[in-house]
Amino acid sequence: MLMQTRMKSFINFLAACLLAGFLAACGGGGTNDGCINIDPSRSSSLPSCSGSGGTTTPGTGTSTSGTLTLAMQDSSGAALTNLTPDVPATVNVVVKNANGVAVSNNVVTFTTSDTTGVFSPAIGTALTDGNGMASLKLAAGTQAGAFTLTASSVIGSSTVKATKSYTVSFPVLTTSDIIVSPSTVPAGANASVTLSIKNGSTNYTSPVSVAFTSICTKSGKALIGSPVITQNGVAVASYTDKGCGTTDTLTATAVVPNATLTKSVDIVVLPAAAGSLKFVGVDTTNIALKFTGGVGRPEFSTVKFQVFDMNGAPVVGKLVSFVFSDSNQATTTGGLKLNPATATTAADGTVTTTVSDGTIPTSVRVVASVVGSSPLLTTISSLLVVSSGVPDQRHFTVLPEVGNAECWNIIGKCVMVSAYLADHFGNQVTDGTVVNFTTEGGMIIDSCQTVNGLCSVPLYSSFPHPLDGRVTILAYALGEENFLDKNNNNTFNDGIDGFNVPGDDLSPDIFRDDNEDGLLSAGEPCIGPNTNGTCTTPGDLKYNGVLRIPQQPSPQAQYISTSFVMQFSSSHAQITVTPSPISCTGTSTDVQVTVKDDRNLLMPAGTKIAFSATYGATAVQVSPSEATVPSVILPVGGVIFHPTYVVTIPCSGTATGTFNVTVTTPGGTVTPSSTRIN
């Protein structure tokens, strides 16, 4: 009895457990995420799976909310499980609800375990159409292997997923040999370069970028179009010679799926024949004598030429020889030499030589020739001047364009003042030599720099004006003293050559002598150390120039200077006629006419003075009838000599008349004068 009771209890317990298990499997109690209805005929009145979970099976996802059907197809619509770079997949998903009705306007999200896979659109989502279908493209990435495609969509309150396994594989691609046509490239010509990408024995038709490069393209001696995109598996580029002139190694590189392919070929490029030779230039046209160079005065000059082929392209590797035009050798007068005497053209076709070591002032040109050219290609350089390049006192000249300008009454530009500088040999000084200016009256630009030995500055007739209208202008530059080369060796030899003291021995001081008395006065600027207070510091009794032998460790450059007096002439004339009145007897008489401005200066240069005479209403011819005031440049302390014009007047017997003088300045001011003729 007891045993039967225990057995009955165990059976009841087992039935309860089994029922609980069925209830749990069907959603009874707790969550039902992932529950499955294992009895398709189950009564709908019983608890069911109704949460967010559902099944995920290969190609199909199912839940009580609906289903997703996932498929991969090729372009023909056939099922596809393997992707290649040439064969992408069209991915289709059909979304239906629990009643099997297509769900439209539902977002489907696609993902793949291939991190390099490419969706189109790239965002990896698509919207279902009226048939519940969403589609996109999936292309192979850059890695081979097996991968899982997942599509998911929210149907009602449930996320339904479907998966599909696929593989990615890549063809084994190769390249053909590079074909160059023509196989030998003439200088400056073009060649066609062809390369094919192969998939087995056929061309790989997907576009591939092919990059071409070569030794000569890297150095700028050739050009090639790169990169090139293949067309039906073939890449064609154009190679152009730009002076390569040798065997060039060309390399093609193509990055294909899962590999990088390279192929090389040698291209024979013929060297160019020289077609022309050009003189390019020199870095300086003025060369300092040996041992006399300094800042801005180099003792050498680099001469450059350039060789071109028949097409005008630079030619590399051509041997060029150099000689002086006067000696037809690499050396010439005074030890001047060319180094090197021959040289080879660089990549840009240029070649250079250096002119140096001259000990005698001279002028030379360099002749360049292409060795072995037929006919001989040759050209000549510009003129090179070998000299000291330092101005000396004897060769320093400063002058205005006119010495008596209409500056007193007219404010503004008055005249141009020009400086002319040469060295001991009379050759132009080094370009860029600075000349300084200072003026007693008006305004002058403070300095100029020489070009070909001269430079100019404007003088303006601004205030102040000296009361007498005489304006002292001082110009100065760093230079050297004069000497007499008695032994004619183009250098100064102490104890042999002439150096006059104190005449040639310059003081380090200079001053502007405004009152023209030869002494430093109050208000006159002194330029120099002025050790004695009178701006007359004594010289050192030595020639200190760059031509001194033996050389000074640091040749003393000192001021050379010159001054002149500028007349700020007035526009208003003073006219004096002698005699006055005029007595005219006989056939004619002579009168003297003096014209000067109202400060007793010369009238402005270019002033016209007209002479005429009348007897009543009758005009008679006087001689001369006109005169022009000349330009007169005054030295400091110079005396003005006013010209006297002698005019011959015809006499008329008993009639009286008038002698007229009319003065017209370049600025247009007119001053008349009349004198009675008895």
Reported as a single tens digit per residue, the pLDDT across 372-383 is 998 899 999 998
- Annotate 378-426 with three-state secondary structure: EEECCCEEEECCCCEHHHEEEEECCCEECCCCCCCEEEEEEEEEECCCC
Q: Tell whether the model's pLDDT for residue 28 goes beyond 70.
A: no
CATH 3.40.50.1000 at 173-269, yes or no: no
- Which CATH number is 276-387's, of 3.30.1150.10, 1.20.1270.10, 2.60.40.10, 3.40.50.720? 2.60.40.10
The set of residues, in sequence order, having a beta carbon less than 8 Å from that of 581 and lying 6+ positions away, is 675, 676, 677, 678
The answer to whether the CB of 495 falls within 8 A of the CB of 458 is no
Q: Tell whether the model's pLDDT for residue 653 goes beyond 80.
A: no
- The superfamily in CATH containing domain 67-168 is Immunoglobulins (2.60.40.10)
Min mean pLDDT across 42-46, 214-218, 230-234, 567-571 is at: 42-46
- Indicate the pLDDT class of residue 313, thresholds 50, 70 and 90: confident
- As a whole number of angstroms, the distance between CA 355 and CA 340 comes to 9
- Residue-level pLDDT at 556: 55
Share of the chain above pLDDT 90, in %: 71
- Residue-level pLDDT at 167: 96
- Indicate the pLDDT class of residue 41, thresholds 50, 70 and 90: very low
- Residue-level pLDDT at 491: 86
- Residue-level pLDDT at 552: 67
- Residue-level pLDDT at 598: 95
Where is pLDDT greater, at 523 or 585?
A: 523
- Residue-level pLDDT at 553: 59
Supply the mean pLDDT for the chain: 88
What's CA 17's distance to the chain center, in Å? 95
- Residue-level pLDDT at 513: 97
Please provide the CATH number assigned to the domain covering 571-677: 2.60.40.1080
The answer to whether the CB of 401 falls within 8 A of the CB of 413 is no
Closest C-alpha to 551, from 362, 292, 310, 375: 292
Q: What is the mean pLDDT of residues 261-285?
A: 92
pLDDT tens digits, 226-236 = 999 999 999 99
The answer to whether the CB of 380 falls within 8 A of the CB of 282 is no
Which range has the top average pLDDT, 264-273, 422-431, 440-449? 440-449
What's CA 215's distance to the chain center, in Å? 28
pLDDT tens digits, 607-646 = 999 999 999 989 999 999 999 999 999 999 999 999 999 9
- Residue-level pLDDT at 359: 82
- Indicate the pLDDT class of residue 247, thresholds 50, 70 and 90: very high
Closest C-alpha to 109, from 70, 150, 165: 150
Q: What is the mean pLDDT of residues 652-673?
A: 94
- Residue-level pLDDT at 454: 97
The answer to whether the CB of 343 falls within 8 A of the CB of 337 is no
- Residue-level pLDDT at 519: 96
- As a whole number of angstroms, the distance between CA 603 and CA 628 comes to 10
Q: What is the mean pLDDT of residues 63-69?
A: 86
Let me know if the fold of 67-168 is the same as that of 391-568. yes
- Residue-level pLDDT at 244: 87
> Which segments of 199-352 does DSSP mark as H helices, in order?
215-218
What's the pTM value of the predicted model, to 2 decimals? 0.58
- Residue-level pLDDT at 294: 73
> Domain residues of the chain, as ranges?
67-168, 173-269, 276-387, 391-568, 571-677
- Residue-level pLDDT at 39: 45
The answer to whether the CB of 371 falls within 8 A of the CB of 319 is yes
- Indicate the pLDDT class of residue 38, thresholds 50, 70 and 90: very low
User: Dihedral of the CA atoms 84, 85, 86, 89 (nearest 10)?
Assistant: 60
First to last CA, the chain: 192
- Residue-level pLDDT at 290: 84
Q: What is the mean pLDDT of residues 25-51?
A: 40
Where is pLDDT greater, at 511 or 9?
A: 511
Q: Tell whether the model's pLDDT for residue 293 goes beyond 80.
A: no
Fold of the domain built from segment(s) 391-568: Immunoglobulin-like (2.60.40)
Neighbours of 65 (CB within 10 A): 21
Number of helices followed by number of strands (H, E) in the chain: 2, 54
- Residue-level pLDDT at 478: 93
Task: Kindly state the tokens that stand for 102.
Answer: 């297509």
Q: Tell whether the model's pLDDT for residue 434 goes beyond 90.
A: yes
